[in-house]
Amino acid sequence: MTKSGLKHGITVAVYPGSFDPVTNGHLDIIHRAAKVFDKLIVAVLNNSSKNPLFTLDERVELLRQVTKDVPNVEIDSFRDLLVNYLKSRGAHLVVRGLRAVSDFEYELQMASTNQKLDEDMETFFMTSKPKYSYLSSSIVKEIARFHGPVVDLVPLEVEQALRIKFGTDKATI
Protein backbone atom coordinates (compact mmCIF):
# COMPACT_ATOMS: atom_id res chain seq x y z
CA MET A 1 0.00 0.00 0.00
CA THR A 2 1.15 3.50 -0.75
CA LYS A 3 0.53 6.61 1.29
CA SER A 4 -2.79 7.09 -0.54
CA GLY A 5 -3.89 3.54 0.24
CA LEU A 6 -4.07 2.43 -3.40
CA LYS A 7 -2.77 -0.98 -4.39
CA HIS A 8 -1.15 0.06 -7.67
CA GLY A 9 2.42 0.71 -6.52
CA ILE A 10 3.52 4.29 -6.53
CA THR A 11 0.69 6.74 -7.07
CA VAL A 12 1.12 8.68 -10.28
CA ALA A 13 -1.37 11.47 -10.87
CA VAL A 14 -1.74 13.74 -13.89
CA TYR A 15 -2.68 17.40 -13.64
CA PRO A 16 -3.74 18.34 -17.19
CA GLY A 17 -4.42 21.80 -18.55
CA SER A 18 -3.49 24.40 -21.10
CA PHE A 19 -1.51 26.52 -18.57
CA ASP A 20 -1.54 29.54 -20.90
CA PRO A 21 0.08 30.88 -18.79
CA VAL A 22 0.62 29.06 -15.52
CA THR A 23 -0.74 31.15 -12.63
CA ASN A 24 -0.12 31.18 -8.89
CA GLY A 25 -3.41 29.28 -8.57
CA HIS A 26 -2.07 26.49 -10.79
CA LEU A 27 1.18 26.48 -8.87
CA ASP A 28 -0.68 26.17 -5.57
CA ILE A 29 -2.57 23.09 -6.86
CA ILE A 30 0.72 21.62 -8.14
CA HIS A 31 2.47 22.05 -4.78
CA ARG A 32 -0.48 20.66 -2.82
CA ALA A 33 -1.02 17.68 -5.17
CA ALA A 34 2.71 16.88 -5.08
CA LYS A 35 2.34 16.34 -1.33
CA VAL A 36 -0.49 13.83 -1.86
CA PHE A 37 0.82 11.73 -4.74
CA ASP A 38 4.18 10.01 -5.15
CA LYS A 39 4.59 11.49 -8.63
CA LEU A 40 2.67 14.32 -10.27
CA ILE A 41 2.81 14.78 -14.03
CA VAL A 42 1.75 18.26 -15.10
CA ALA A 43 0.57 17.63 -18.64
CA VAL A 44 0.21 20.60 -20.96
CA LEU A 45 -2.56 20.10 -23.49
CA ASN A 46 -1.89 21.15 -27.06
CA ASN A 47 -5.50 22.01 -27.90
CA SER A 48 -5.82 22.62 -31.63
CA SER A 49 -9.13 24.45 -31.14
CA LYS A 50 -7.51 27.20 -29.05
CA ASN A 51 -5.16 29.97 -30.07
CA PRO A 52 -2.76 30.17 -27.12
CA LEU A 53 -0.60 33.17 -26.28
CA PHE A 54 2.38 30.94 -25.47
CA THR A 55 3.52 28.08 -27.67
CA LEU A 56 3.40 24.56 -26.31
CA ASP A 57 7.18 24.57 -25.83
CA GLU A 58 7.04 27.92 -24.00
CA ARG A 59 4.32 26.69 -21.64
CA VAL A 60 6.26 23.50 -20.90
CA GLU A 61 9.45 25.47 -20.25
CA LEU A 62 7.71 27.99 -17.98
CA LEU A 63 6.22 25.12 -15.96
CA ARG A 64 9.64 23.47 -15.70
CA GLN A 65 11.13 26.71 -14.39
CA VAL A 66 8.45 27.33 -11.76
CA THR A 67 8.36 23.72 -10.50
CA LYS A 68 12.09 23.01 -10.47
CA ASP A 69 12.01 22.98 -6.64
CA VAL A 70 9.42 20.16 -6.50
CA PRO A 71 11.32 16.88 -7.02
CA ASN A 72 8.32 14.61 -7.67
CA VAL A 73 6.81 16.83 -10.39
CA GLU A 74 7.39 16.08 -14.05
CA ILE A 75 6.32 18.37 -16.89
CA ASP A 76 5.07 16.82 -20.12
CA SER A 77 2.69 17.60 -22.97
CA PHE A 78 0.04 15.71 -24.91
CA ARG A 79 -2.20 16.07 -27.97
CA ASP A 80 -4.59 13.17 -27.48
CA LEU A 81 -7.57 12.25 -25.35
CA LEU A 82 -6.66 12.48 -21.69
CA VAL A 83 -7.55 8.81 -21.10
CA ASN A 84 -5.14 7.77 -23.85
CA TYR A 85 -2.40 9.94 -22.37
CA LEU A 86 -2.93 8.45 -18.91
CA LYS A 87 -2.70 4.92 -20.31
CA SER A 88 0.53 5.81 -22.11
CA ARG A 89 1.97 7.01 -18.79
CA GLY A 90 0.68 4.10 -16.71
CA ALA A 91 -1.51 6.40 -14.65
CA HIS A 92 -5.19 6.39 -13.75
CA LEU A 93 -5.49 9.40 -11.45
CA VAL A 94 -6.32 12.94 -12.58
CA VAL A 95 -6.07 16.09 -10.50
CA ARG A 96 -8.35 19.02 -11.28
CA GLY A 97 -8.57 22.37 -9.52
CA LEU A 98 -11.90 23.96 -8.68
CA ARG A 99 -12.18 27.70 -8.18
CA ALA A 100 -15.95 28.07 -7.91
CA VAL A 101 -19.19 26.14 -8.17
CA SER A 102 -19.31 27.07 -11.86
CA ASP A 103 -16.11 25.07 -12.44
CA PHE A 104 -17.65 22.01 -10.82
CA GLU A 105 -20.34 21.45 -13.47
CA TYR A 106 -17.83 21.37 -16.31
CA GLU A 107 -15.27 19.33 -14.35
CA LEU A 108 -17.90 16.79 -13.25
CA GLN A 109 -18.98 16.37 -16.87
CA MET A 110 -15.36 15.83 -17.96
CA ALA A 111 -14.64 13.41 -15.10
CA SER A 112 -17.78 11.40 -15.91
CA THR A 113 -16.91 11.30 -19.61
CA ASN A 114 -13.35 10.20 -18.88
CA GLN A 115 -14.58 7.49 -16.54
CA LYS A 116 -17.00 6.30 -19.23
CA LEU A 117 -14.03 5.99 -21.60
CA ASP A 118 -11.89 4.27 -18.96
CA GLU A 119 -13.65 2.92 -15.88
CA ASP A 120 -10.37 2.73 -13.94
CA MET A 121 -9.75 6.46 -14.26
CA GLU A 122 -10.38 8.52 -11.13
CA THR A 123 -10.52 12.30 -10.80
CA PHE A 124 -9.45 14.09 -7.63
CA PHE A 125 -10.80 17.61 -7.20
CA MET A 126 -8.80 20.14 -5.21
CA THR A 127 -10.42 23.42 -4.29
CA SER A 128 -8.48 26.60 -4.79
CA LYS A 129 -7.37 28.60 -1.84
CA PRO A 130 -9.76 31.56 -1.49
CA LYS A 131 -7.04 34.01 -2.54
CA TYR A 132 -6.90 32.28 -5.95
CA SER A 133 -10.62 31.60 -6.45
CA TYR A 134 -11.02 34.40 -9.01
CA LEU A 135 -7.75 33.78 -10.85
CA SER A 136 -7.58 32.37 -14.37
CA SER A 137 -5.10 32.43 -17.22
CA SER A 138 -7.60 34.45 -19.25
CA ILE A 139 -7.77 37.16 -16.60
CA VAL A 140 -3.97 37.28 -16.37
CA LYS A 141 -3.61 37.65 -20.15
CA GLU A 142 -6.21 40.42 -20.26
CA ILE A 143 -4.50 42.38 -17.49
CA ALA A 144 -1.06 41.89 -19.05
CA ARG A 145 -2.31 42.81 -22.54
CA PHE A 146 -3.17 46.28 -21.20
CA HIS A 147 0.05 46.50 -19.17
CA GLY A 148 -1.65 46.06 -15.80
CA PRO A 149 0.12 44.55 -12.79
CA VAL A 150 0.24 40.74 -12.67
CA VAL A 151 3.01 40.51 -10.09
CA ASP A 152 0.80 38.81 -7.47
CA LEU A 153 -0.99 36.59 -9.98
CA VAL A 154 1.84 34.66 -11.63
CA PRO A 155 5.37 33.52 -10.80
CA LEU A 156 8.20 35.94 -11.68
CA GLU A 157 9.27 33.85 -14.70
CA VAL A 158 5.77 34.14 -16.15
CA GLU A 159 5.59 37.86 -15.43
CA GLN A 160 8.81 38.33 -17.39
CA ALA A 161 7.53 36.19 -20.27
CA LEU A 162 4.32 38.24 -20.39
CA ARG A 163 6.37 41.44 -20.61
CA ILE A 164 8.18 40.03 -23.63
CA LYS A 165 4.96 38.79 -25.29
CA PHE A 166 3.24 42.14 -24.90
CA GLY A 167 6.29 44.21 -25.76
CA THR A 168 6.78 46.12 -22.56
CA ASP A 169 9.57 46.25 -20.05
CA LYS A 170 7.57 48.17 -17.48
CA ALA A 171 7.92 46.82 -13.96
CA THR A 172 4.14 47.19 -13.44
CA ILE A 173 3.24 44.04 -15.37
What are the tens digits of pLDDT across the range 99-136?
A: 988 789 899 999 999 999 999 999 999 999 999 999 99
Determine which one of 26, 59, 92, 141 is catalytic: 26
Q: Provide the percentage of residues in the chain whose pLDDT is more than 70.
A: 92
Query: Which residue range(s) make up the domain with 102?
Result: 12-133
Q: So what's the pLDDT on residue 5?
A: 41
Per-residue DSSP letters for 78-122?
Answer: E-S-HHHHHHHTT--EEEEEE-SHHHHHHHHHHHHHHHHH-TT-E
pTM of this prediction?
Answer: 0.90
Residue 37 maps to a domain = yes
Residue 3 known to be catalytic: no
Question: What number is the average pLDDT over the span 53-73?
Answer: 97
- Residue 48 sits in a domain whose CATH number is 3.40.50.620
Determine which one of 50, 116, 131, 145 is catalytic: 50
Residue 103 maps to a domain = yes
Determine which one of 64, 99, 129, 147 is catalytic: 99
Backbone angles phi, psi at 44, to 5 degrees: -85, 120
- Lowest average pLDDT, out of 9-13, 46-50, 72-76, 131-135, goes to 46-50
Q: So what's the pLDDT on residue 3?
A: 45
Residue 170 has pLDDT above 80, yes or no: no
Residues annotated in a binding site for substrate: 18, 50, 82, 96
Q: So what's the pLDDT on residue 169?
A: 63
**Do the beta carbons of residue 15 and residue 89 sit within 8 Å?**
no
Q: Residue 88's Cα: distance from chain center in Å? A: 19
Residue 158 maps to a domain = no
Question: How many domains does one find in the chain?
Answer: 1
Q: So what's the pLDDT on residue 122?
A: 96
Residue 79 known to be catalytic: no
Residue 6 has pLDDT above 50, yes or no: no
Q: So what's the pLDDT on residue 75?
A: 98
Q: So what's the pLDDT on residue 34?
A: 98
Residue 48 maps to a domain = yes
The number of beta carbons lying within 10 Å of the beta carbon of residue 146 is 8
